[in-house]
């Protein structure tokens, strides 16, 4: 896959700085082809699927075209839905972060029009809106087009499907023809789209990103519906549950690579990051560690992962859903090599599931929805693996000396062989619970907590010179639950209420049984709803 770096595209330093801060290293195929052409000022027809990074394909060029010193509207971008309009506006704002004086304003139906009118009076060089609402403003003369030099039709086929053809043509008639650049992006090119291009574009350059037919290797592919804040927790559960020999975790940005690497290392995992900002000596060191197995988890961007040729990768995690369908195939192809079994896991949330469906259609593959393993699932699988290893040792190794030691211990104490075996198993498993997550000993139903949380009572408070950080630190330290999952902490004079995820309620209560905070023994129990 031929790639182009953003610093090869002759962009403003301010834009390059914003792109670098967003963490992107290279342009997607549609970006690398479209940006130079759109920047040249000609009319453009771009054919590309949703999720290929096409917002930047027109967003970056229009930022180069805008004059920040003029407050008048210079660019209008039409989007089929309010959600997409907001999304496009957010992305262009990020790209324009260091271009002082550039104002970007979304306008759409469902929002109070007077509020939009007030915002428009303040001046906005770039307006992103749905056709109906933009046309409404044009008729009210709250949007004026005398200074508009560029119009972008984003998701043009979708806008036509939604019945906006007449609105689009009306808007195009408002915009001065002389010196106007008309840019159109569409996933498909039905006849009505071609009619618009013929009528309103002149000598348009067509850019089409042709998807190569790619076959997906025989890999087990799963996806999980995961909230952004829960991604680290879910990743660690999957790592513990499946216990792959080597894992590759893909992130879309360098910043996320760094953050996730730090998070996993802080939790005791042998993880290293790899991205384009690292020196070659650093990259070589990281790769040596991964190839040798010293580093078990490699976290990388798509760019940095090129050239990784390691046969023993058992699992690939799409921590961020890839920007381009093709990237998905390249990512998961890193596992299941040389006839080995491989697994690929993808984290999605909300509308990202539609992007996943695009990937499935493109790859002609099935990605199966899976429930997130519970802490008890992880504990159980850990126990099973320990028992398997114990069975192997019994079958294959000479245990006479060990048996002699145990017999002496049993004879010298009140412990049974079963007691000692159970203690060794507990030691091997760490702080896991094997009670199948039953809440039968604790009433978590009426604690007054938010949905999905449990409210716990602690018998110390402000008069004991306790701060929220002390509570949080004790819970994280004693239970093993990540501190970032702790919810509201309400401190009173003599007691405290704290909220934790319900699934961790038992673990926290068990862990805090003999705990001390600032040298004082504490009692913790489920709160009673008042």
DSSP string, 191-227: HHHHHHHHHH-SSPEEEE-PPP--PPPS-EEEEEE--
318 forms bridges with which residues in the sheet? 250, 346
- Are the beta carbons of 377 and 241 closer than 8 angstroms? yes
- The answer to whether domain 220-369 has CATH 3.40.640.10 is no
Distances (CA, A) of 393 to 126, 388, 401, 470, 526: 69, 9, 14, 43, 43
CA distance 47 to 30: 9
Instruction: Indicate the pLDDT class of residue 376, thresholds 50, 70 and 90.
Output: confident
Sign of CA dihedral 33, 38, 40, 44: positive
Residues near 505 by beta carbon (within 8 Å), at least 6 away in sequence: 439, 442, 444, 454, 456, 526
453 forms bridges with which residues in the sheet? 501
Sign of CA dihedral 64, 68, 73, 74: negative
Angle at alpha carbon of residue 286, lines to 281 and 291, rounded to 5°: 125
Question: Over the stretch 98-131, which tens digit does the pLDDT of each residue have?
Answer: 999 999 999 998 788 898 999 999 889 999 999 9
3-state secondary structure of 401: helix
Mean pLDDT of 219-223: 91
CA distance 103 to 118: 14
| Residue 497 clears pLDDT 50, i.e. is over it | yes
- Superfamily of chain region 4-208: P-loop containing nucleotide triphosphate hydrolases (3.40.50.300)
- Are the beta carbons of 410 and 417 closer than 8 angstroms? yes
Question: Over the stretch 268-300, which tens digit does the pLDDT of each residue have?
Answer: 899 999 987 888 788 889 988 998 889 999 999
Number of Cβ within a 10 Å radius of residue 310: 15
> How is residue 442 written in tokens?
């604790």
pLDDT attached to residue 158: 84
CA distance 349 to 344: 17
Instruction: Indicate the pLDDT class of residue 53, thresholds 50, 70 and 90.
Output: confident
> How is residue 41 written in tokens?
């000022």
> How is residue 60 written in tokens?
């970056």
pLDDT attached to residue 443: 65
Terminal CA-to-CA distance of the chain, rounded, Å? 62
Alpha-carbon Rg for the chain in angstroms: 29
DSSP string, 64-75: HH--TT--S--E
Mean pLDDT of 301-308: 74
Which one is predicted more confidently, 427 or 328?
328
Number of Cβ within a 10 Å radius of residue 127: 25
pLDDT attached to residue 133: 93
Mean pLDDT of 166-178: 92
| Residue 332 clears pLDDT 50, i.e. is over it | yes
Nearest CA-CA partner of 299 in 265, 326, 266: 265
Buried b (16+ CB within 10 A) or exposed e, 245-255: ebbbbbbbbbe
The number of C-alpha atoms within 13 Å of 298 and in the hemisphere containing its C-beta is 35
State the average pLDDT for the chain.
85
**Portions of the chain given CATH number 3.40.50.300:** 4-208, 220-369
Instruction: Indicate the pLDDT class of residue 364, thresholds 50, 70 and 90.
Output: confident
- Are the beta carbons of 525 and 509 closer than 8 angstroms? yes
Number of Cβ within a 10 Å radius of residue 201: 19
Tell me the Ramachandran region of residue 363: left when phi exceeds 0, alpha when psi lies from -120 to 50, beta otherwise: alpha
Distances (CA, A) of 349 to 73, 224, 320, 485: 35, 8, 10, 19
Instruction: Indicate the pLDDT class of residue 442, thresholds 50, 70 and 90.
Output: low
pLDDT attached to residue 440: 43
Percent of the chain with pLDDT over 90: 35
- Are the beta carbons of 273 and 304 closer than 8 angstroms? no
Distances (CA, A) of 316 to 77, 216, 220, 222: 37, 13, 10, 10
| Residue 529 clears pLDDT 70, i.e. is over it | no
Which one is predicted more confidently, 249 or 86?
249
| Residue 34 clears pLDDT 90, i.e. is over it | yes
Domain 453-526: CATH architecture, name and number where available: 2-Layer Sandwich (3.30)
**Portions of the chain given CATH number 3.30.70.330:** 453-526
Sign of CA dihedral 382, 259, 253, 347: positive
pLDDT attached to residue 309: 67
Across the chain, which distance is largest between two alpha carbons, in Å? 100
pLDDT attached to residue 530: 47
Helices 54-65/29-39 angle, 10° precision: 20
């Amino acid at each position: 896959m031929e790639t182009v770096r953003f610093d090869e595209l002759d962009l403003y330093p301010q834009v390059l700085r914003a792109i670098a801060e967003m963490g992107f290293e290279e342009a997607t195929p549609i970006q690398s082809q479209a940006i130079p052409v759109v920047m040249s000022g000609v009319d453009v027809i771009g054919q590309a699927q949703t999720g290929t990074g096409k917002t930047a394909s027109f967003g970056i060029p229009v930022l180069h075209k805008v004059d920040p010193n003029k407050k008048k509207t210079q660019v209008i971008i039409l989007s089929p839905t309010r959600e997409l309009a907001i999304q496009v506006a957010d992305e262009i704002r990020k790209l324009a972060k260091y271009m002082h004086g550039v104002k970007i304003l979304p306008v759409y139906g469902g929002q109070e029009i007077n509020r939009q009118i007030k915002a428009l009076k303040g001046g906005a060089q770039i307006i992103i809106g749905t056709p109906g609402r933009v046309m409404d403003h044009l008729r009210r003369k709250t949007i004026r087009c005398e200074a508009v030099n560029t119009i972008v039709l984003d998701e043009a086929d979708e806008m036509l499907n939604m019945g906006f053809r007449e609105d689009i043509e009306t808007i195009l008639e408002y915009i001065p023809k002389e010196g106007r650049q008309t840019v159109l992006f569409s996933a498909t090119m039905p006849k009505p789209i071609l009619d618009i291009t013929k009528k309103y574009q002149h000598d348009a350059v067509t850019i089409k990103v042709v998807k190569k037919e790619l076959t997906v290797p025989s890999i087990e592919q799963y996806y999980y519906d995961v909230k952004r804040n829960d991604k680290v927790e879910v990743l660690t559960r999957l790592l513990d549950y499946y216990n792959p020999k080597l894992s590759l975790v893909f992130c879309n940005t360098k910043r996320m690579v760094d953050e996730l690497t730090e998070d996993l290392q802080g939790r005791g995992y042998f993880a290293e990051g790899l991205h384009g900002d690292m020196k070659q000596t650093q990259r070589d060191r990281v790769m040596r560690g991964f190839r040798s197995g010293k580093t078990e988890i490699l976290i990388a961007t798509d760019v940095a992962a090129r050239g990784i040729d390691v046969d023993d990768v058992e699992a690939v995690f799409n921590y961020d859903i890839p920007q381009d369908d093709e990237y998905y195939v390249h990512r998961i192809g890193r596992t299941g090599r040389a006839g080995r079994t491989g697994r690929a896991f993808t984290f999605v949330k909300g509308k990202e599931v539609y992007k996943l469906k695009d990937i499935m259609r493109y790859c002609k593959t099935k990605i199966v929805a899976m429930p997130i393993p519970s802490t008890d699932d992880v504990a159980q699988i850990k126990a099973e693996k320990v028992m398997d290893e114990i069975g192997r040792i019994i079958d294959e190794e000479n245990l006479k000396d060990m048996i002699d030691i145990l017999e002496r211990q049993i004879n010298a104490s009140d412990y049974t062989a079963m007691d000692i075996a159970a203690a060794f198993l507990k030691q091997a498993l760490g702080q896991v619970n094997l009670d199948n997550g039953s809440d039968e000993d604790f009433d978590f139903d009426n604690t007054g907590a938010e949905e999905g949380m449990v409210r716990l009572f602690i018998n110390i408070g402000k008069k004991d010179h306790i701060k929220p950080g002390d509570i949080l630190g004790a819970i994280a330290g004693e239970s093993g639950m990540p501190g970032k999952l702790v919810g509201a902490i309400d401190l009173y004079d003599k007691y405290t209420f704290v909220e934790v995820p319900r699934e961790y309620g038992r673990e926290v209560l068990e862990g805090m049984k003999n705990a001390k905070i600032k040298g004082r023994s504490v009692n913790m129990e489920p709160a009673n709803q008042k």
